[in-house]
Structure 1
Amino acid sequence: MKYIILFSLCIGLFILGMTVIRIGMFNISGNRLKVLLKKLTSSPAKGMVTGTLVTAVLQSSSTVMVLAIGLISARILTFPQSIGIILGTNIGTTFKTELITFDLGRILIPIAIAGGLFILARNVVWRSLGMVLLGIASVFTAMKGFEMLAVPLTSVDSVSRLLMSLNEHLLIGIAVGACMTAVIQSSTAMTGIAMGFLTSGVLGLEAGIAVMLGANIGTCITALLASIGGGEEARLAAFAHVWLNVIGVMLFIPLIPVLGSLGPDLAKSPDVQLAHISVIFNVLTSLMALPFAERFGRMIMYLHAR
């Protein structure tokens, strides 16, 4: 029980860190990013580039989707304009996945101290920078916790059985990744947990890929919740986000063994392998969908317009 409690605390610390980073980055550049979303979405290609950049800065695809849905609800953006943004958020979110693979263990304490000092400053920019640094320290501390607790958790019968089923049945991995992400509201946190188990050797790369794919579906719940009461076009944008991720995952399920065998050629460390495979998945699905963006939008309207 103590390992499960500690693991839950690590999840909370990870999510808290990502939230603090997001708030700090938004304080620094939020208004400019809103203007960017409004101006540079005249075509799906421009929207994809804009969505990628804004997501990379805010470190949260869910936040950018909520921003986009808010702008649609306010009739500043239209549903067709949001399709490019959706494609871009899936690419931009991979920056976080790559970020959490860095080894900052030796400088975590100096980063946390610097963040604590900066957050006391009167200047908004310095305070926001302090939040970003504290958030980074929290995220990487949580990642260390995932790695340290992965092996002890295997002594818990229910966890051991779950890990065995994940390694043996890829569809269970996708389902677990989707459900867990829907609960904790962070695909990056779910991928980070998978990385911790990968690094400790208790989870295979193919199972980690399955969990990552499931996390891409589970993260759509945030957009669906944000669209409630936001009007017809906001609802369509949320459904477009769901369909894009579900179709992408379905297309990649048969390729999981191929990606698993490709992993060692991409990097030595299994967590970095998973991060690179996440980039491959998200970039390829967005690029494949881009030429069909307008027809995809019409399909969503046909399926979900009232």
Structure 2
Amino acid sequence: MPTPDFEFWKFAAGLGIFLFGMHQLEAGLKGLTGRSFQRLLQRATNKPWKGISVGTIVTAILQSSSLVNLLVLAFLGGGVMSLKNSLSVVLGANLGTTFTAWIVATLGFKVNVADLAFPWLTIGILSALFLTKRPLLKSIGGFLMGFGLIFLGLDYMKVTMEDYAAYLDISSLEGFGLWAFLLAGLIVTA
């Protein structure tokens, strides 16, 4: 069976959409970082057990620890969360991934969060374009647009890599030792 062609431009577009989504997410967060939003996040994560709980629950709902970690990075970059609070949420996100795996194994279903990209993009773009006189709603729109773009970019990259990854044979690295597997894992993860 021949190896499918790697769709470089689709993968590159997915990466670009993802990075632009991160930029929009952070820009939207900067507009939302009012005192009430910041206090809400501080109260929800001020104790390690609260942060772990928030991370676990949000990851179990979204079924994406990567997305929760990206949101935490955006909150941290926007100065909305402290490093101490964000660490407990990241730990909770990792626990939430395990919880999600148990739900999927037990119930046999998984929600495709990438399908939610288009509603978030629609609401976010329309809010950012038409609610310019309402800064809070415009910022929420920018946040939602970034959220949708992140999912869309991740979906493009995932679809591009799924077809190609099925044909990769890592057994050819056996002759090079464990370092080759470590290096390959680092490159693929990056």
Give me the TM-score of the superposition, normalised by structure 1: 0.37
Q: Which runs of 5+ in 2 are unaligned?
A: 60-66, 101-109
State the match for 1:61 in structure 2.
Answer: 72
CA distance in 1, matches of 2:159, 2:7: 10
> Is contact 2:51–2:92 with CA below 8 Å preserved after alignment?
no
Aligned with residue 9 of structure 1, among 10, 13, 20: 13
CA distance in 2, matches of 1:11, 1:116: 20
- Residues 32, 90 of structure 1: alpha-carbon distance in 2 compared, 3 angstrom cutoff: farther
- Residues 147, 23 of structure 1: alpha-carbon distance in 2 compared, 3 angstrom cutoff: same
Aligned residues: 162
1:6 corresponds to which letter in structure 2? K
CA distance in 2, matches of 1:18, 1:101: 20
Q: C-alpha offsets along residues 28-60 of structure 1, whole Å, 9 cap, x if unaligned?
A: 355445445666776532454467789988952
Q: C-alpha offsets along residues 175-203 of structure 1, whole Å, 9 cap, x if unaligned?
A: 5554565x5xxxxxxxxxxxxxxxxxxxx
Secondary structure at 1:104 match in 2: helix
* Structure 1 segment 93-242 matched on structure 2, within 5 A: 101-102=112-113, 104=115, 108=118, 111-120=120-129, 121=131, 122-150=133-161, 153=164, 163-165=168-170, 176=184, 178-179=186-187
Aligned sequence identity (%): 19
Secondary structure at 2:113 match in 1: coil
Q: What RMSD in Å do the two structures reach over aligned CA positions? A: 4.9
CA distance in 1, matches of 2:182, 2:40: 34
CA distance in 2, matches of 1:57, 1:31: 22
CA distance in 2, matches of 1:144, 1:51: 22
Q: Which runs of 5+ in 1 are unaligned?
A: 73-81, 184-306
Q: C-alpha offsets along residues 215-271 of structure 1, whole Å, 9 cap, x if unaligned?
A: xxxxxxxxxxxxxxxxxxxxxxxxxxxxxxxxxxxxxxxxxxxxxxxxxxxxxxxxx
CA distance in 2, matches of 1:102, 1:40: 24
State the match for 2:27 in structure 1.
Answer: 23
> Is contact 1:28–1:128 with CA below 8 Å preserved after alignment?
yes
Q: C-alpha offsets along residues 93-139 of structure 1, whole Å, 9 cap, x if unaligned?
A: 768xx89932527x82x654443321122211221232133224423
Q: CA deviation at 1:10?
A: 0.8
Give me the TM-score of the superposition, normalised by structure 2: 0.53
Q: CA deviation at 1:20?
A: 1.9
- Residues 135, 27 of structure 1: alpha-carbon distance in 2 compared, 3 angstrom cutoff: same
Is it true that 1:87 corresponds to 2:96 in the alignment? Answer: no
> Is contact 1:25–1:57 with CA below 8 Å preserved after alignment?
no
- Residues 57, 118 of structure 1: alpha-carbon distance in 2 compared, 3 angstrom cutoff: farther
1:12 corresponds to which letter in structure 2? G
* Structure 1 segment 26-65 matched on structure 2, within 5 A: 26-29=30-33, 31-35=35-39, 43-49=47-53, 60-65=71-76
Secondary structure at 1:128 match in 2: helix
> Is contact 1:52–1:91 with CA below 8 Å preserved after alignment?
yes
CA distance in 2, matches of 1:42, 1:129: 24
